[in-house]
Amino acid sequence: MDTEAQPTQRDRSSHPGTPGPEGRSRFALLSRLADWLPGGRITLTLFTGLAFLLLLNAFVMQPFEIPSGSMERGLRIGDRVLVNKLAYRFGAQPRRGDVIVFDGTGYFGDADYIKRVVGVGGDHVVCCDKKGRIEVNGRPVDETAFLYPGDSASSVSFDVVVPPGRLFVLGDHRSDSSDSRDHLGSPGGGMIPVGDVIGRADWVMWPYRHWTHLTRPSAYARVPAPPAGGAHG
């Protein structure tokens, strides 16, 4: 008995390399669209890339230009930072030390701002102790790693408790920053609603010589939770 397998004619329509009716339909639609557009496939490719960038900018990452010197020395005027818009979208909350971009409408002014989170909901923030340091929940914070050289922690004294769902924010260049200290008597007491945070600044992308990853300072890791609990730090 001959056991050699005999070649058979395969059904051409089921060949894995042959697109099915649905695939051919999509390809034909794209081809017709490319033929309709001025510039053909090049224009279609450009439009597709632009749509991808717009979606990326709207939901994932957004570039932000530093408009002032309030965050020097780390962030200089004209630097472009990349803001992670997903950082706080899945249950995570801003933490002490994060550099955030937020909508200041109704609190700071009708614009977006970039500042560092110093206190979160429930925190007791005081300035200053006998050594000129900010205290959060009774623990002094050593800000020398990021504070602008020659600046004190604050030339304005304050003693505040951050309401739940709010943030107390300061610029790193304290003598050149309008921040929560300057709006303590304003609506909201200078505290930023967490819901108005656009995202966390994670990278300095431009100019190239300033390229760096922005990390949370270790000084804030030693700050205890407020006595009432429930704050994220």
Asked if residue 86 and residue 49 are part of one domain, the reply reads no
Asked if residue 158 and residue 93 are part of one domain, the reply reads yes
Q: Is the pLDDT of residue 43 over 70?
A: no
pLDDT at 60: 59
Q: Is the pLDDT of residue 26 over 60?
A: no
Tokens coding 220: 């804030």
Confidence of residue 10 (pLDDT cuts 50, 70, 90): very low
| DSSP letter, residue 138 | T
Asked if residue 149 and residue 87 are part of one domain, the reply reads yes
Asked if residue 41 and residue 19 are part of one domain, the reply reads yes
Domain assignment of residue 86, given as a range: 62-222
- The residue annotated as part of the active site, out of 70, 154, 177, 180, is 70
pLDDT at 80: 95
Per the annotation, the verdict on 70 as an active-site residue is yes
Enter the pTM of the model.
0.74
pLDDT tens string 170-207: 999 999 999 999 998 887 888 999 999 999 999 999 99
Give the chain's domain count: 2
What are the residue ranges of helices labelled H in the chain?
A: 21-36, 41-59
pLDDT at 39: 59
Asked if residue 180 and residue 145 are part of one domain, the reply reads yes
Q: Is the pLDDT of residue 48 over 60?
A: no
The answer to the question of residue 185 being in a domain is yes
Q: Is the pLDDT of residue 61 over 90?
A: no
pLDDT at 32: 57
Asked if residue 136 and residue 153 are part of one domain, the reply reads yes
The answer to the question of residue 90 being in a domain is yes
In order, the DSSP letters of 115-130 are EEEEE-TT-EEEE--T
pLDDT at 38: 61
pLDDT tens string 99-118: 999 999 988 888 999 999 99
Calculate helix-pair angle for 41-59, 21-36, nearest 10 degrees: 100
Cα–Cα nearest to 139, from 45, 13, 25, 224: 224
Asked if residue 105 and residue 206 are part of one domain, the reply reads yes
The answer to the question of residue 183 being in a domain is yes
> What percentage of the chain exceeds 70 in pLDDT?
72
Cβ atoms < 10 Å from Cβ of 103 = 17
The answer to the question of residue 31 being in a domain is yes
The residue with greater pLDDT, 38 or 43, is 38
The answer to the question of residue 182 being in a domain is yes
Asked if residue 208 and residue 139 are part of one domain, the reply reads yes
- The residue annotated as part of the active site, out of 115, 154, 177, 180, is 115
pLDDT at 176: 96
Asked if residue 207 and residue 130 are part of one domain, the reply reads yes
Asked if residue 216 and residue 145 are part of one domain, the reply reads yes
The answer to the question of residue 7 being in a domain is no
Here the CATH number for the domain that contains residue 156 is 2.10.109.10
Asked if residue 178 and residue 105 are part of one domain, the reply reads yes
The answer to the question of residue 230 being in a domain is no
pLDDT at 90: 85
Cα separation of 196 and 111, whole Å? 12
Per the annotation, the verdict on 115 as an active-site residue is yes
The answer to the question of residue 213 being in a domain is yes
The residue with greater pLDDT, 194 or 54, is 194
Measuring CA to CA, how many Å separate 155 from each of 40, 41, 77, 97, 176? 62, 60, 23, 20, 11
Q: What mean pLDDT is predicted for residues 217-233?
A: 76
Q: For the chain, what is the mean pLDDT?
A: 81
Cα–Cα nearest to 150, from 180, 173, 123: 173
Asked if residue 43 and residue 96 are part of one domain, the reply reads no
